[in-house]
């Protein structure tokens, strides 16, 4: 009998849901990822806006290691002090009155949708269950969050779309108001669309949505899974508009790389939940809470968010110079803080691949944009290295017929 243990597998044992770059990361140090072949990559993708404090941040390592040795999981049958602490800190630093913890962005948004619907059910308006959403959104891959975002590419083949979502054009207040009916429960959007290509809702648009919600008794639900936790230079992106939403979904940066999500509810919306109506086995377990509390320790340090804003401005200026130098490659920069999108002239996927080969990680998004999402602890020197790689890749781009790079 032949021993086939070491034979190369003929096919992957993984279901083929991802198209992956041919790179395997071995370890991380701050803003850098080191591959199994020893190559170093400057990580300006942060695992899609997740590793907000970079890799192996000493404070996170310390707090998680401490918790690993103590207690991992108990379920929500018992009190979890880390949850109470994290919730209190989130409440103290935001519009929120109460929080619910889960494990991912999709769960945070699914929970937010359920809370919005149930708020109306328990306050005497069970007919109000529909939610207005905007084109270009991304809220996750559950059946309801897919229906909310209404992206045909992701809905195809998954059967009847979950009912209850009215998708309207982005940044069009007339269309949004026209979609409001007696059945409308809430308006849901990302303050800055991530997957949609770093498309920021204007502050005025956000304020007008708040006004419309107040006028018609609707809840304003924000998906801050990607834009929250300091990425734009404020803890929550909606703070730039000076408004208070009713519900916010958070995840990604919240755990700094540990899977954790949260539904934050204002006092009014919080009425929607009571014991037994929503839950998750893993949500808010002691390990996840140790990670998120450690992330907050750093992000809430005085001056941290101001530094994010300042580094975002520096990076934006640098990108604007690159656009002027390479108008045949890069077209526009958008976003806020360290949640930036560089719209490309040439195909964004090819740019992302070329950058990877040159040692810089970014993440493609819709509208031919590459997302530039460095760790919030990035240094000015690392920003300069990234700009240099973006410059070199553009300068070496094969020239199109009659075009110029
Ligand atoms: N909402 C937004 C704005 C996102 O960017 C994402 C993920 O990219 C999600 C929700 C879903 O989060 P997750 O992939 O953790 O389920």
Whether 226 lines ligand 1, by a CB cut-off of 6 Å, is yes
Query: Cβ(109) to ligand 1 under 6 A?
Result: yes
| Residue 197 Cβ contacting ligand 1 at under 6 Å | no
Per CATH, the number for 25-44+303-395 is 3.90.1150.10
Centre of ligand 1 from the C-alpha of residue 138, in Å: 7
Mutate to test the pocket of ligand 1, among 48, 51, 106, 260 (most ligand atoms within 8 A of CB): 106
Question: Closest ligand 1 atom to the C-alpha of 141?
Answer: 16
**Architecture of the structural domain at 59-299:** 3-Layer(aba) Sandwich (3.40)
As beta bridge partners, residue 167 has: 133
Give yes or no for residue 222 CB within 6 A of ligand 1: no
Whether residue 191 contacts residue 201, with contact meaning beta carbons closer than 8 Å, is answered with yes
Atom index in ligand 1 nearest the CA of residue 106 equals: 16
The residues spanned by each domain of the chain are 25-44+303-395, 59-299
- Contact between 138 and 150 under an 8 Å Cβ cutoff? The reply is no
From first to last of its 405 residues, what are the pLDDT tens digits of the chain?
A: 444 455 555 789 999 999 999 999 999 999 999 999 999 999 999 999 999 999 999 999 999 999 999 999 999 999 999 999 999 999 999 999 999 999 999 999 999 999 999 999 999 999 999 999 999 999 999 999 999 999 999 999 999 999 999 999 999 999 999 999 999 999 999 999 999 999 999 999 999 999 999 999 999 999 999 999 999 999 999 999 999 999 999 999 999 999 999 999 999 999 999 999 999 999 999 999 999 999 999 999 999 999 999 999 999 999 999 999 999 999 999 999 999 999 999 999 999 999 999 999 999 999 999 999 999 999 999 999 999 999 999 999 987 544 445
Q: Which atom of ligand 1 is nearest to the CA of 261?
A: 15
Q: Is the CB of 140 under 6 A from ligand 1?
A: yes
């Amino acid at each position: 009998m032949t021993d086939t243990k070491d034979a190369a597998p003929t096919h992957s044992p993984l279901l083929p849901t991802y198209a992956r770059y041919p790179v395997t990361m071995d370890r991380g140090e701050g803003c850098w990822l080191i591959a199994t072949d020893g190559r170093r990559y400057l990580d300006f993708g942060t695992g899609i806006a997740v590793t907000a404090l970079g890799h192996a941040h000493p404070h996170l390592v310390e707090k998680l290691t401490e918790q690993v040795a103590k207690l991992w999981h108990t379920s929500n049958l018992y009190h979890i002090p880390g949850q109470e602490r994290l919730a209190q800190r989130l409440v103290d630093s935001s519009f929120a009155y109460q929080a619910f913890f889960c494990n991912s962005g999709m769960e945070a948004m699914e929970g937010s949708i359920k809370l919005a619907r149930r708020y109306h059910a328990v306050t005497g308006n069970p007919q109000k269950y529909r939610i207005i959403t905007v084109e270009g959104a991304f809220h996750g891959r559950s059946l309801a969050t897919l229906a909310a975002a209404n992206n045909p590419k992701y809905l195809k083949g998954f059967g009847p779309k979950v009912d209850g979502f009215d998708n309207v054009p982005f940044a069009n207040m007339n269309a949004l108001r026209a979609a409001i009916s007696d059945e409308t429960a809430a308006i849901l959007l990302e303050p800055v669309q991530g997957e949609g290509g770093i498309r920021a809702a204007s502050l005025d648009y956000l304020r007008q949505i708040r006004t419309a919600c107040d006028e018609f008794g609707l809840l304003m639900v924000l998906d801050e899974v990607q834009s929250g936790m300091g990425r734009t230079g404020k803890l929550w992106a909606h703070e730039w508009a000076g408004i208070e939403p009713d519900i916010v979904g958070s995840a990604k940066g919240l755990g700094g790389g540990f899977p954790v999500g949260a539904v934050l509810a204002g006092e009014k919306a919080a009425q929607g939940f009571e014991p037994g109506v929503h839950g998750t086995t893993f949500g808010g377990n002691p390990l996840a809470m140790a990670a998120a509390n450690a992330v907050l320790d750093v992000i809430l340090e005085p001056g941290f968010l101001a530094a994010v804003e300042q580094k975002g401005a520096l990076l934006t200026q640098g990108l604007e110079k690159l656009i002027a130098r390479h108008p045949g490659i890069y077209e526009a920069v958008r976003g806020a803080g360290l949640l930036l999108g560089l719209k490309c002239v040439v195909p964004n996927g090819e740019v992302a691949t070329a950058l990877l080969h040159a040692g810089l990680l970014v993440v493609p998004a819709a509208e031919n944009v590459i997302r530039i999402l460095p760790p919030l602890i990035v240094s000015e020197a690392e920003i300069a290295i990234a700009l240099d790689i973006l410059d070199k890749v553009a300068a070496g781009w094969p020239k199109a017929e009659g075009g110029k790079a």
